[in-house]
Amino acid sequence: MPHLPSGPARVHARGWGWRHAGRKAFAVSGVDLDIAPGERVLLLGASGAGKSTLLHALAGVLGAAEEGEEQGELTVDGVPAPAARGRAGLVLQDPDGQIAMARVGDEVAFGCENLAVPRDEIWPRVHRALDDVGLDVPIDRSTAALSGGQKQRLALACILAMAPGLVLLDEPTANLDPEGVEEVREAVRRSVDRTGATLVVVEHRVSVWAELVDRVVVLSGEGGLLADGSPERVLGDADVRRRLAAAGVWVPGWHPLTGELTPSALRDTSSQDDDPQAELLSAQGLAVGRSPKTPPVVGGIDLVLRAGRAASVTGPNGAGKSTLALTLAGLLPAVGGRLEALPALARGAGTSPHRWRSSELVSRIGTVFQEPEHQFLTPRVLDELEFGPRRVARRPEKEVRALVDGLLERLRLERLAEANPFTLSGGEKRRLSVATMLATDPSLLVLDEPTFGQDALTWAELVRLLAELLEQGTSLLAVTHDEDFTNALSDTVYRVDGGRAARVEAVA
């Protein structure tokens, strides 16, 4: 190795705070923090406590004076973070959002080039970094052809090649399936073990990182720190646990529905009645694909969705789970086999959901997409909720008002009725996207990864709401990797893998 890492970095903060331009309140304030070289820190805090802001500040990308106001001091190795160019490397949450180059090798080399590393040194560094993260693909592989877990390991390799003294990870596993989470965590472990770099991770799924870090720091929403110490001490303290849980952090051993008690299924899923009246949608030998011209992604699917019942669809990324869900939801045409809306669902609208008019579709099947922003249509929360019942289903005005007021209250959105949907927090956006679908009262609700990246409070709220809907006779189909979600709600589980979909055992 011609160029060795220049050693782990030290972080020092005194009375540090940051206010984004255009905001009244400080995102972070009064932070006193010293991180010794080589320490591994898990940074926790409620949504909006400023964890990402602190991380971006350490990476030196918060921006200049016109982008906000800074208080106190924050240094990396004794110099202000923006001046410590190349000392810190940052990995962000969205696997697609941080790749700049077309090929794996060029992507890893990019940071070295920017730091003016001589050409002869770049390629050994690239191979070393790819090796560290265990990404065993040809260096001319297209970056677009990687899985989510591979992309995040690539992002990690990119910063490792720059030999940073400080590795900063901003929820690097929030969008990944369980295998991807495991891959990325092990890659982080291997690389910080080798380089000895200082590590700061932000993540609200604590259990993923708890055994890899040696210190847990909890940011308080009101400024300063709420707790700071070893994982055992911080996560073992009953008071801190309670406060973390109340802030929406996924505390190990604390279930969002039952707290310290062992979780039980939220509903009785044991009775398997076969009441034909309750059958809504049936698939026989169904084949699904993104386009009728390409070969089907999944074939030979047999399933029945029933009123008041929940089904989960699981399986590895890219297996075709979303394609299946979108086909069942009437958004993609079936590419083979039979998909039939039964009388209880069709209510006179024809048997093929894909052929329904929009006004027929929204009052029968609602689909909640993974990214809430994709479904926002208007600049105001209230308009967003009124859109379906008023403009698509054309309900009487009085009915629209009653429906929307009910939803605002039930999903705790009253305070936000006038807000722009794009400015809401992640949890609020999720609640709103579900609410917009409920506004037209569909009999079947299809959800694509509804709990990805959500904090424990939003999770519990969502699960309780969906349980109520099931109680009222709505049918649910959720594409999800989230076992807690499936355990709490689902009657049946289908696993999609290798082009087939098979029913696995009903969840106890």
Partner 1 sequence: MSVDILTPELANSVLTRANPVAKLAAALCITITLLLSVDWVSASVALACELFMLPLLGVRAGTFLRRTWPLAAAAAVAAYSTALLGAKIGPVWLQLGPAVFTEHSVLTGVAIGLRGLAVALPGVFLLFSTDPTDLADGLAQKLRLPARFVLGALAGMRLVGLLVDEWRTLGLARRARGVGSGHSPIARFKAFLGQAFALLVQAIRRATRLAIAMEARGFGGIVDGRPAPRTWARESSYSRLDAWVIVTGAGVAALSVGAAVVLGTWNVVWG
> Mind spelling out the 3-state secondary structure of 439-474?
CCCCCEEEEECCCCCCCHHHHHHHHHHHHHHHHCCC
Which C-beta is closer to partner 1: that of 351 or that of 375? 375
Of 59, 92, 53, the residue nearest 164 (C-alpha): 59
DSSP label of 262: P
Sheet containing strand 475-479, strands side by side? 336-341, 279-288, 298-306, 500-504, 492-497, 310-314, 475-479, 444-448, 365-368
Of 96, 99, 102, 62, the residue nearest 80 (C-alpha): 62
N residues, the chain = 508
Site size for partner 1 (CB under 8 A): 71
Record the tokens describing residue 250, joined without a space.
């996924």
Which C-beta is closer to partner 1: that of 167 or that of 346? 167
If one asks whether residue 469 binds partner 1 (CB under 8 A), the answer comes out as: no
User: Looking at 96-196, which runs of residues are DSSP E strands?
Assistant: 166-170
- Contact (CB, 8 A) for 9 and 37: yes
- Pick out residues in 191-250 that bind partner 1 (CB under 8 A): none
- Cβ of residue 211: shortest distance to partner 1, in angstroms? 27
Q: How far is CA 230 from CA 33, 41, 103, 169, 246, in A?
A: 14, 9, 40, 19, 20
If one asks whether residue 21 binds partner 1 (CB under 8 A), the answer comes out as: no
If one asks whether residue 86 binds partner 1 (CB under 8 A), the answer comes out as: yes
DSSP label of 176: S
Binds partner 1 (CB under 8 A): choice among 2, 118, 138, 348: 118
Stretch that binds partner 1, among 142-150, 199-207, 218-226, 449-457 (CB under 8 A): 142-150
- Per-residue x/- track, 156-185, partner 1 (CB under 8 A): --xx--x-----------------------
- Pick out residues in 46-65 that bind partner 1 (CB under 8 A): 56, 59-61
- Per-residue x/- track, 88-117, partner 1 (CB under 8 A): xxx-x-x-xxxxxxxx-xx--xxxxxxxxx
- Cβ of residue 168: shortest distance to partner 1, in angstroms? 8
- Pick out residues in 119-138 that bind partner 1 (CB under 8 A): 119, 122-123, 126
Which C-beta is closer to partner 1: that of 52 or that of 486? 52
Binds partner 1 (CB under 8 A): choice among 436, 458, 474, 490: 436
Rg from Cα positions in the chain: 25
- Pick out residues in 336-395 that bind partner 1 (CB under 8 A): 357-359, 361-362, 366-367, 369, 371, 373-377, 387-388, 391-393
If one asks whether residue 142 binds partner 1 (CB under 8 A), the answer comes out as: yes
- Cβ of residue 338: shortest distance to partner 1, in angstroms? 22
Helices first, then strands: H and E counts in the chain: 16, 19
- Cβ of residue 210: shortest distance to partner 1, in angstroms? 26
Binds partner 1 (CB under 8 A): choice among 57, 154, 234, 326: 326
- Cβ of residue 85: shortest distance to partner 1, in angstroms? 6
- Cβ of residue 215: shortest distance to partner 1, in angstroms? 23
DSSP label of 392: I
d(CA 148, CA 10): 31
- Cβ of residue 153: shortest distance to partner 1, in angstroms? 15
- Cβ of residue 242: shortest distance to partner 1, in angstroms? 34
Which residue do the tokens 């009085």 mark?
398
